[in-house]
Structure formats: structure tokens, C-alpha cells
């Protein structure tokens, strides 16, 4: 058995439990990805979670909830765009992952063309890592830009695409009456770094990678925001063309498009011999880091347009082109040491401390080794030269040692037996992959529990972030969640770095948290198996803490979406007298929540509950009344004046005096983009 507070990542119960768990996981990662622009797991892993949830819901229709995240196609509260039907469908490409796959594809092409056709010439070009966009020019003037969408219907992003410097508003002489071109919108690496530097300066979360940032930037409500992101564009194909010139090859097409003023990448080659294609692919892999933009492969196309036509397409992709996907970027660096971090549930995770290395678009200094088995299997040792890559191009990973470079006599690393934080024993429960520090009072666990308790999605206490939790625990101001509600504010005021305003804000945030609904509290307490979705289900079923405390196993199991595993875990947790004492102390501190009133299923998420948001100036996407209505619809208040109680000021153009007052009081000031993010996430900057 895992220790009482151990986190669980694997399904323990039946399909209902797994569905509930998946919903919570998908919701969490969806928010990290879309709302925070900070994905924690590779896209591929996220897709797997969604796919598993969908297949579970398909298999067990009784589990399919109308509000399941499996139905989401965009971020909640996100801007929507008009639909654009693509007259020529925007297809995708089939992928190959090695030279054998590429050769097999080329042989299929030759076979399909038959003996009477000449051997085709290959057009090789880079596969840009951005998002596909279609641009429609009528009589040489840009009239529409659309995303790929599902290939048949995309979104109209004309106003935003028109802000991209590489996208001509009008074409040069000789443009046909209708010319639709397709290409990739991307964010160059220098622009990406500059953007993140600005965000860091402004205290905003940085973006995770250029591709997601490009996609998010093109789907902004306000084109000025898109313009400020400095996106770029490469054209690589035509779509619908009316009365265009006679063209015989892809290469001629690109030359024609370049002549009209469209940006064509210069690394395009027409190659007759397949061995030359292999050389092109190898060169692209070797030089990908010399570029100021990211590529994830090479696209090989049959150059001759008549042969393309003969080859045709499948429902998904053309037969005349293929994407050779470059392997995730790998780099070597020295492994300085292997350390173990302790999570809030005591989970001990080994990670590599690395000499800084630039890989996959960012500098990496640490990489997880996941668990004892993985660390042992990789057998990397402090002092080794190791290969590092980004899994899914997001999370750094140590691939393995470069054995040829291993110094003689280098000692193998062994998993420590003592917790680096508290010195207590590290225990690996039978049958589990994870190892745990079992001391409930381990300072890392104490900090982790309090951090989670105060975090967004849990009790959401503004100003109670990681650093402050560390400080308050070190200073002995808090030891558990109940202490959060009896802080010694006089002592805090006397501490370095705190002024009266920040202490007043902290006090207000803590007071606000007292009124969070029961579901939030249950999630905040980190009861094993109780994620935010299950917490809400339990809250709705039992109404308040007393209802839950006296509930029998059978009552808990009877709650839809809660199976025997969760019920047993909850009963165990409630039965532990330390937890009983914690709940009693929370109650004494005024934390005795009830379940939220059931919501109208069509109502927006109550992201702004407890927040007071003032609106000033002129916004582009909302009238003042609409902005206020959006705030109240999301559960917030929108008074007319800025005061110490104001959570944030949304300032459009010309909102001078209120902005000055907000600044004076330390109230965060948001622009329209910040406002939309706030509506979607309920998260205040800072
Ligand atoms: S040609 C019928 N050329 O890769 C589709 N696509 O994985 C023809 N891409 O949706 C596409 N660079 O967004 C083509 N040089 C290039 C490309 C490219 C990037 C993207 C494109 C496509 C995706 C497929």
C-alpha cells in the first residue's frame, strides 16, 4: 500500500473512477496548455488522455457527461471566430520516421505511377513547426485568412493574419482573379525569446514553446495582440486558383508565388536521385539549430504537378507528398549529479542536474529520471556525458549515457535510502513504481501540502505562492492548512519585504478563501484519489463536512462517478485522527463550507467567484456594460470604483485616473487580453 498521502497516477477502480480521474487530468492539462500557456506534459500524452476518455465514454455511454472535457474543442471562454469552409480541403500529410520509411514511400509512388511514367523528381523542403493557414487573394487583394480547422472548415482569422509582416495585403502584378495559398504561420525563435523576456519583466507567465504561442497568438480577439507577437509566415502550396498561369511543377509554383511577393523559404531543392533526398534530410537534421525558426521535419513532394494529379490523395493526405519527421532533438551534456525531489505526497522523484545545454528551443539544467526503475535502467552516473532530449518537445529527458566517454571507475548511482529533506526513510511500497518519504511532517511535504492547499483550483489564496509558503513555514508561521487562517499578521508586517498594503491584500485573500465552496476544500486537502472533479461530486452529494464525516461507505460509493477505491480512500482519510483534528481546527478558524448551489449547465464557469473587478476606459471587444455583465456572469462583482478591495482593474484606452489609483493601491491592471484570460481562468497576474 502507498502511504496515506501518496499521489496516484494510475487507475485503481473501475471505468467510472478512471473516467472521473481522466476528466480531472484532462481539465488540469487543458488549463495548463490553453489558459496558462504552460503545458506540463507533451501534447502526445495529453492526446492519449483525451483519447482514453473518449473511448471510455463511448464504451460506457452512462459515463458520458454533457460537460465532459472530452467535448471541448477550444478553451472555455475563448474567443470564437466565424467558420470558413475550405473549397479545396486542407489535407494533412502522412508521416515517416526513418529513411527506410521514406524509401518505402518513394517506392510506392514509383510503383503507383507505373512503368510508362518517368522516374519522378523530388521537391524537398523544410517542415515548419507552426500552424497551417490558408490565405485567399481576390484580384491580388487579401480577402480572407483561415486556419486549417478540421481540414474542411476552419476559422476566419483574417484581421489577425493581416497583421503579420510576411503576409502581403496585396500581391504584385500578374495575380490571378482568385489565388488561395497555404502555408505555415510560425513564431521565430528570436521573437519568441523577446516575447518571453517582456513577459518575465511584466511578471507574467512565460510561453512554453513557439508553436503553441503562434497558434494562440493567431486566435486572439484583438488583432493588436497578434501584431505585438511578431509572427512570421512561409508559403508552401496553392489551394484554389482561378485563371492562374500554366505551371508544370511544384518548383515553378513556388517561384511564381515568390514573384507575386509571397514569402517562400529558400531551402527548397528539386532532386532527381533518391540518395540526394536522403542527403537533404540528413543535412536538415544537422543544421536545424542554425535556423531562427523551428522545424520538425522535411516534406518531400513529387515535383511534377501532372504526376501529383495522377497519384491523387487518400481521404486524409496526398499520395504525392510525405513528411519525414526528424527525431526529437538530442544534445549531449555532463551529468553533474542525481538528486531526489520530494513532492507534496512524499513521492521521491530522481532528477538529473545537468551542465546547461540548449536543446529543443530552451536551455535545460535539470531533467527528470521519473523513478528508481527508470534511473536504474538508464544507468546514468554523476560524471557521465549524457544524451538529453525534449520528450514531445516539451519536457527534458535524459536518454542515456555516452558509454564510450564514461570515465574509468565511475561509480553507479543508487537510490538514496533517506529523504534529502527530513532524513527519514525512503520507502518503496510493494508493487509500486514510486518511492516515498513516509514522514508526514517532512518539511518538503508540509510545504507541498500548504502550497497545494492555497493554489488555484484549490483554495485559491492570492499572494500565497511557493515563496511565501516557504518563508512562512521556515518562520514557523504555518505548519498545516488550518494555520493559514490564523496567521500572525503583526509578525508578517514586521518581516522584510512586506508592506501594509501587501499584508492587507494577504489578509483579504485569506478571508475570501474562508468562503470557498466545499468541493474546493476537499480538493485542497489532497485526499488520495480525490481530484477536483470527484471533490465536486462529493460536495454536491453530501452538502457539508458533517454530512461527509458521517457518511457510510455505501453512501459514498453510491455517488455517481465515485467508486469503491475513492470511497475507501476517503473513509481512511476521514478516519485518520490527524485529519479529523485538522478539519476541526479549520472549522474553528471559520472554514466550514457548504456545497455550491447547482449551476445552470449553460452558465459560464464561476471563475471570478469572490473577485471584484473594476472596468475602465474603452475596450475593443466589449462595451463597458458587456464587460461588467461578463464579470458577473462568471461569478465576480464589478463595482464602479477602485478600492483596496478591488482584485483587478481592466483598463481599456483612456482609463487614466482609475489606472493611477489602482497603481497606487497595488491593484493589478489588466489589458483586454489579460481580461479574457482572467474570465477563462480566474487567475490574477502576479
Ligand atoms: S505541404 C496537403 N509543406 O505540416 C498538405 N506542409 O503535418 C500539404 N507543413 O498541415 C502540406 N511545412 O501545416 C507542406 N513545407 C511544408 C510544410 C507543411 C509544414 C505542415 C502543414 C501540414 C502539416 C502536416
Q: Residue 671: what pLDDT?
A: 85
Ligand 1 atom with the smallest distance to the CA of 127 is: 12
- pLDDT bin (cut points 50, 70, 90) of residue 668 is confident
Bridge partners, 390 (sequence order): 396
What's the pLDDT score for residue 580? 92
Range with lowest mean pLDDT among 29-43, 54-68, 540-554: 29-43
pLDDT at residue 196 greater than cutoff 70: yes
Of 456, 454, 472, 474, whose CA–CA distance to 464 is shortest?
454
Say if ligand 1 is within 6 A of residue 318 CB.
yes
Pairing of strands 321-325, 295-302: antiparallel
Q: Is the predicted pLDDT of residue 445 greater than 50, yes or no?
A: yes
Structural Rg of the chain based on CA atoms:
28
Cβ-based burial of 467 (10 A; exposed 0-12, middle 13-18, buried ≥19): exposed
Does the pLDDT value for residue 600 go beyond 70? Answer: no
- Can you tell me the distance from the alpha carbon of 346 to that of 438, in angstroms, rounded to the nearest whole number? 6
Distance of CA 318 from the midpoint of ligand 1 (Å): 11
Q: Assign 85 to helix, strand or coil.
A: strand
Cα angle 10, 11, 17; round to 5: 145
Kind of pairing between the strands at 95-96 and 321-325: parallel
pLDDT band per the 50, 70, 90 thresholds, residue 9 = very low
- Of the two residues 342 and 598, the one the predictor is more confident about is 342
Closest by CA position to 178, among listed 240, 133, 135, 237: 240
Q: Cell 504584385 appears where?
A: 172
Query: Which stretch of 48-62, 276-290, 518-532 has the lowest confidence by average pLDDT?
Result: 48-62
Instruction: Give the pLDDT score at 43.
Output: 59
pLDDT of residue 474 exceeding 80: yes
User: Which cell is 66 given?
Assistant: 454533457
Question: Ligand 1 atom closest to Cα of 237?
Answer: 1
Q: Is the CB of 299 under 6 A from ligand 1?
A: yes
Q: What is the pLDDT of residue 42?
A: 59
| Average pLDDT value for residue range 70-89 | 68
Q: Give the DSSP per-residue string, 539-559.
A: HHHH-BHHHHHT--HHHHHTS
Q: Please give the average per-residue pLDDT across 102-119, as a whole number.
A: 93
Q: Is 437 helix (H, G, I), strand (E, B) or coil?
A: strand
CA distances from 150 to 81, 95, 422 (A): 14, 18, 52
Q: Which of 10-14, 91-95, 503-507 has the lowest mean pLDDT?
A: 10-14
Query: Which secondary-structure segment (H or E) carries 480?
Result: none
Mean pLDDT is lowest, of 112-121, 298-307, 387-396, 539-548, for 387-396
Beta pairing class for 232-242 and 269-271:
unpaired
CA of 196 relative to ligand 1 center, distance in Å: 27
User: CA–CA separation, 337 vs 355, rounded Å?
Assistant: 10
Which pLDDT score, from 0 to 100, does residue 72 have? 58
Q: Would you state the pLDDT for residue 523?
A: 92
| Rounded Cα distance, 370 and 256, in Å | 52
Query: What are the backbone dihedrals phi and psi of residue 372, each rounded to the nearest 5 degrees, phi first?
Result: -60, -40
Ligand 1 atom nearest residue 148's Cα: 10
Cell reading at 518: 466545499
For the chain, helix (H) and strand (E) counts, in that order, are: 24, 21
Q: For 628, how many CA atoms within 13 A lie in the half-sphere containing its CB? A: 13
Any ligand 1 atom below 6 A from CB of 123? no
- Mean pLDDT for the stretch of residues 67-94: 73
Phi, psi of 48, rounded to the nearest 5 degrees:
-65, -40
Which residues on adjacent β-strands are paired with residue 144?
A: 136
More confident residue, 66 or 134: 134
Identify whether the C-beta of residue 102 lies closer than 8 Å to the C-beta of residue 96: yes
Select the highest-mean-pLDDT range: 12-16, 444-448, 648-652.
444-448
Instruction: Please state, for a pLDDT cut of 70, what percent of the chain lies above it.
Output: 91
C-alpha cell at 625: 456594460
Question: Average pLDDT of 669-673?
Answer: 86
Tell me the pLDDT band of 3, cut-offs 50, 70 and 90.
Answer: very low
Looking from the CA of residue 131, the nearest atom of ligand 1 is 13
Q: Please identify every residue annotated as catalytic.
A: 127
Quick one: average pLDDT of 124-144? Answer: 96
**Distance from residue 311's CA to the centre of ligand 1 (Å):** 18
pLDDT interval class at 536 (50, 70, 90): confident
**Residue showing cell 471584484:** 612
Cell digits of residue 407: 570515465
* Neighbouring C-beta atoms of residue 201, cutoff 10 Å: 8
In terms of Cβ atoms closer than 10 Å to its own Cβ (0-12, 13-18, 19+), residue 127 is buried
Domains, the chain, in order of start with CATH, read: 15-72 (1.10.287.610), 85-325 (3.30.470.30), 330-436 (2.40.50.140), 462-467+478-588 (1.10.150.20), 613-681 (3.40.50.10190)
Question: Does 74 score more than 50 pLDDT?
Answer: no
Asked if the model's pLDDT at residue 112 lies above 50, the reply is yes
Instruction: Tell me if 323 CB under 6 Å of ligand 1.
Output: yes
Q: Is the separation of the CB atoms in 592 and 544 below 8 Å?
A: yes
**CA-closest candidate to residue 301, choices 93, 447, 528:** 93
Please tell me the predicted confidence (pLDDT) of residue 461. 94
User: Confidence class of residue 1 from pLDDT cuts 50, 70 and 90?
Assistant: very low
Pick from 523, 504, 503, 542: nearest CA to 460: 523
Mean pLDDT, the chain, whole residue set: 87
* 179 CA from centroid of ligand 1 (Å): 18
What Cα–Cα distance (Å) separates residue 158 from each residue in 83, 137, 147, 163, 677? Answer: 12, 11, 9, 9, 22
Band the pLDDT of 488: cuts 50, 70, 90.
very high
Q: Is residue 359 within 8 Å of residue 418, measured between CB atoms?
A: no
Contact (Cβ atoms closer than 8 angstroms) between residue 130 and residue 120: no
- Give DSSP secondary structure letters for 403-428: GGGPPTTPPPP---SB-TTT-PBEE-
Amino acid at each position: 500500500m502507498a502511504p496515506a498521502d501518496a499521489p496516484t497516477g494510475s487507475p485503481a477502480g473501475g471505468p467510472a473512477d478512471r473516467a472521473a480521474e481522466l476528466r480531472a487530468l484532462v481539465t488540469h492539462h487543458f488549463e495548463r496548455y490553453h489558459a496558462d500557456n504552460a503545458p506540463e506534459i507533451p501534447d502526445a500524452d495529453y492526446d492519449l488522455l483525451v483519447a482514453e476518455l473518449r473511448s471510455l465514454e463511448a464504451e460506457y455511454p452512462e459515463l458520458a457527461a454533457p460537460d465532459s472535457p472530452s467535448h471541448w474543442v477550444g478553451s472555455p471562454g475563448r474567443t470564437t471566430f466565424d467558420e470558413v469552409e475550405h473549397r479545396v480541403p486542407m489535407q494533412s500529410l502522412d508521416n515517416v520516421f526513418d529513411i527506410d520509411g521514406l524509401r518505402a514511400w518513394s517506392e510506392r509512388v514509383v510503383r503507383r505511377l507505373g512503368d510508362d511514367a518517368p522516374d519522378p523528381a523530388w521537391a524537398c523542403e523544410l517542415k515548419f513547426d507552426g500552424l497551417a493557414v490558408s490565405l485567399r487573394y481576390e484580384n491580388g487583394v487579401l480577402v480572407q485568412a483561415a486556419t486549417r480547422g478540421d481540414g474542411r472548415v476552419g476559422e476566419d482569422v483574417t484581421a489577425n493574419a493581416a497583421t503579420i509582416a510576411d503576409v502581403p495585403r496585396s500581391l504584385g502584378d500578374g495575380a490571378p482573379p482568385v489565388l488561395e495559398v497555404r502555408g505555415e504561420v510560425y513564431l521565430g525563435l528570436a521573437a519568441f525569446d523577446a516575447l518571453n523576456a517582456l513577459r518575465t519583466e511584466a511578471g507574467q507567465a512565460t510561453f512554453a514553446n513557439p508553436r503553441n504561442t503562434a497558434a494562440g497568438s493567431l486566435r486572439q480577439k484583438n488583432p493588436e495582440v497578434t501584431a505585438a507577437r511578431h509572427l512570421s509566415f512561409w508559403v508552401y502550396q496553392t489551394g484554389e486558383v482561378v485563371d492562374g498561369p500554366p505551371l508544370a511543377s511544384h518548383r515553378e509554383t513556388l517561384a511564381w508565388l515568390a514573384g507575386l511577393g509571397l514569402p517562400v523559404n529558400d531551402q527548397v531543392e528539386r532532386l532527381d536521385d533518391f540518395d540526394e533526398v536522403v542527403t537533404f534530410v540528413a543535412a536538415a537534421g544537422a543544421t536545424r539549430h542554425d535556423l531562427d525558426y523551428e522545424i520538425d521535419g522535411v516534406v518531400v513532394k513529387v515535383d511534377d504537378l501532372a504526376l501529383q494529379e495522377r497519384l491523387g490523395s487518400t481521404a486524409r493526405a496526398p499520395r504525392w507528398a510525405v513528411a519525414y519527421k526528424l527525431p526529437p532533438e538530442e544534445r549531449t551534456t555532463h551529468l553533474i549529479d542525481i538528486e531526489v525531489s520530494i513532492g507534496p505526497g512524499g513521492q521521491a522523484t530522481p532528477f538529473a542536474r545537468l551542465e546547461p545545454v540548449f536543446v529543443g528551443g530552451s536551455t535545460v539544467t535539470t531533467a527528470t529520471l521519473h523513478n528508481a526503475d527508470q534511473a536504474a535502467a538508464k544507468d546514468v552516473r554523476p560524471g557521465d556525458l549524457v544524451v538529453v532530449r525534449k520528450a514531445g518537445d516539451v519536457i527534458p529527458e535524459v536518454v542515456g549515457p555516452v558509454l564510450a566517454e564514461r570515465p574509468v571507475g565511475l561509480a553507479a548511482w543508487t537510490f538514496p535510502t533517506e529523504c534529502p529533506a527530513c532524513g527519514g526513510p525512503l520507502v518503496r511500497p510493494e508493487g509500486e513504481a514510486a518511492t516515498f518519504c513516509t514522514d508526514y511532517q517532512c518539511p518538503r511535504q508540509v510545504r507541498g501540502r500548504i502550497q497545494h492547499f492555497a493554489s488555484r483550483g484549490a483554495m485559491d489564496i492570492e499572494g500565497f505562492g511557493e515563496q511565501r509558503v516557504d518563508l512562512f513555514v521556515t518562520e514557523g508561521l504555518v505548519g498545516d492548512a488550518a494555520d493559514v487562517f490564523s496567521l500572525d499578521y503583526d509578525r508578517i508586517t514586521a518581516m522584510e519585504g512586506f508592506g501594509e498594503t501587501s499584508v492587507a491584500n494577504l489578509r483579504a485573500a485569506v478571508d475570501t478563501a474562508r468562503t470557498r465552496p466545499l468541493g474546493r476544500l476537499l480538493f485542497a486537502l489532497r485526499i488520495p484519489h480525490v481530484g477536483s472533479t470527484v471533490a465536486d461530486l462529493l460536495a454536491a452529494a453530501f452538502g457539508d463536512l458533517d454530512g461527509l464525516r458521517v457518511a457510510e461507505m455505501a453512501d459514498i460509493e453510491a455517488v455517481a462517478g465515485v467508486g469503491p477505491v475513492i470511497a475507501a480512500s476517503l473513509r481512511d482519510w476521514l478516519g485518520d485522527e490527524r485529519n479529523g483534528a485538522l478539519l476541526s481546527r479549520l472549522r474553528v478558524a471559520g472554514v466550514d463550507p457548504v456545497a455550491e448551489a447547482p449551476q445552470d449547465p449553460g452558465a459560464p464557469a464561476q471563475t471570478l467567484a469572490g473577485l471584484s473587478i473594476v472596468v475602465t476606459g474603452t475596450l475593443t471587444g466589449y462595451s463597458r456594460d458587456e464587460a461588467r455583465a461578463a464579470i458577473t456572469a462568471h461569478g465576480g462583482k464589478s463595482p464602479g470604483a477602485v478600492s483596496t478591495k478591488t482584485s483587478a482593474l481592466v483598463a481599456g484606452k483612456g482609463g487614466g485616473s482609475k489606472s493611477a489609483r489602482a497603481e497606487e493601491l497595488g491593484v493589478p491592471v489588466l489589458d483586454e487580453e489579460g481580461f479574457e484570460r482572467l474570465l477563462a481562468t480566474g487567475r490574477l497576474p502576479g
